[in-house]
Amino acid sequence: MDKISKEILFSKDAIQKRVRELADQISKDYEGKELIVIGILKGAFIFMADLIREISIPCRVDFARLASYGAGSESSGKVVMTKDIETSIKDKDILIVEDILDTGLTMQYLVDWLEERNPRSLKICVFLDKRKRRKVSFEADYVGFTIEDGFVVGYGLDFNEKYRFSPDIYVIKQ
Ligand code: IMP
């Protein structure tokens, strides 16, 4: 994996525009309500920070941490929760915010986990959706962009903890 080259997929400007559109839609859909936004660490922290600053309704935030990828670009397939949320979500409106939906195994695990706590509503917002790689039948309620298979980095997404800081999103080419 030494010789990595990257090809730009979404520029900072394209990302900002799409985040605003998602935030507008979410603000309309939840008008008059208070939202609890749950970000999945680590990848979602940048998208979530941008999104909640564009959302015009009051929202509270919390984070869960789930891991399915080991080192490298292939999922281990086994999801582990390493940090639970700290907020009571019973009878609340919940929006899960995630960087990317790939096989869907991570999201399925978290949704099952949160549903047990009886929220009033539970929706999912992902910035990127690799729909073709899904292993569980699962659709997000809000999607930034649908992408083809390929490993992407930047805007919070990493490869071996690298490239998270990049304001643009790239596809890795080996
Ligand atoms: P899933 O459980 O297969 O849907 O994987 C979801 C998690 O895998 C995401 O939260 C990311 O952390 C990671 N992931 C999946 N695809 C990529 C990618 O292309 N780049 C970086 N991380 C990815």
Q: Is 45 in the pocket of ligand 1 (CB under 6 A)?
A: no
Whether residue 2 is predicted with pLDDT greater than 80 in this model: the reply is no
Q: Is residue 13 part of a domain?
A: yes
* Contacting residues for 133 by C-beta, under 8 A, at least 6 apart: 102, 103, 149
Q: Is 93 in the pocket of ligand 1 (CB under 6 A)?
A: no
Q: Is 96 in the pocket of ligand 1 (CB under 6 A)?
A: no
- Mapped onto helix, strand or coil, the DSSP state of residue 127 is strand
Q: Which domain covers residue 55, as residue numbers?
A: 5-67+77-173
Q: Is residue 72 part of a domain?
A: no
Q: Is 63 in the pocket of ligand 1 (CB under 6 A)?
A: no
Distance CA 58, CA 27 (A): 9
CATH of the domain at 155: 3.40.50.2020
Average pLDDT, the chain: 92
Q: Is residue 114 part of a domain?
A: yes
| 151 in Cβ contact with 120 (< 8 Å) | no
Q: How many angstroms separate the alpha carbon of residue 101 from the centre of ligand 1?
A: 6
% of the chain residues with pLDDT over 70: 94
Q: Is residue 16 part of a domain?
A: yes
Q: Which residue's CA is the closest to the ligand 1 atom numbered 11?
A: 100
Q: Is residue 83 part of a domain?
A: yes
Strands (E), the chain: 5-10, 35-41, 59-69, 75-83, 93-101, 121-129, 142-146, 152-153, 169-173
Q: Is residue 38 part of a domain?
A: yes
| Catalytic residue list contains 141 | no
Give the pLDDT band of residue 138 (cuts 50, 70, 90).
confident
Q: Among the options 99, 102, 141, 149, which is catalytic?
A: 102
pLDDT tens-digit readout, 21-46: 999 999 999 999 999 999 999 999 99
Atom of ligand 1 nearest to the CA of 109: 2
pTM of the model: 0.93
Count of structural domains, the chain? 1
